[in-house]
Amino acid sequence: MSVPTGGTCPLCTVAATPYLESPRWLLLRHADPSPIAGWMMLVTRAHREGPHALEREEQAELGALVAAIAAAVRAATGCERTYLISFNEAVPHMHLHVVPRHATDPTTTSWSLADRYRDTAAGRTAAVDPAVADDTARAVARLAERALAPFGFEPPAARTR
């Protein structure tokens, strides 16, 4: 990934290993401290400041990728719904959060999710154990792999499944 001139982009310089990757996209889990197991991120491989800056191929793929990842998050976590979040404000690099919404967990409802996110980041709410977050992310990747394969996604060679 290329870093924008005049600064550094945390997603361009991220050391996280993707769970699946394609020539244009990376599938990551939320960085630690992760508020919820199964919180995934679809990130452009190239630095794009937001949806307005996506190239035609990325635009054409986005809907199908989100649908496949959301279905895999639901299957892996048992959640009833998923939320999509993309502010691209704190990190001006195109990334979509795909977040599990559990009907039995009121902290995952609508704006309560923002409170849970802030509370987890501040240490007021326990984060998901990183091993659980990794196991869930691997399950999401396994469940999404077939649907994402036509877009060039595959597991990174260095990652064991």
**Amino acid symbol at 91:** V
Quickly state the pLDDT bin for 2 (edges 50, 70, 90). Answer: very low
Distance CA 41, CA 31 (A): 9
User: Is the per-residue pLDDT at 114 higher than 50?
Assistant: yes
Specify the number of domains making up the chain: 1
Summarize the confidence of residues 88-116 as an average pLDDT: 92
Q: Is residue 96 part of a domain?
A: yes
Please provide the average confidence, as pLDDT, over all residues in the chain.
Answer: 91
* 9 assigned to some structural domain: no
The reply to whether 7 falls in a domain is no
| Residues of the domain holding 117 | 20-151
Q: Check whether 5 has a pLDDT greater than 50.
A: no
Does a structural domain hold residue 27?
yes
- pLDDT confidence of residue 1: 42
Q: Is residue 159 part of a domain?
A: no
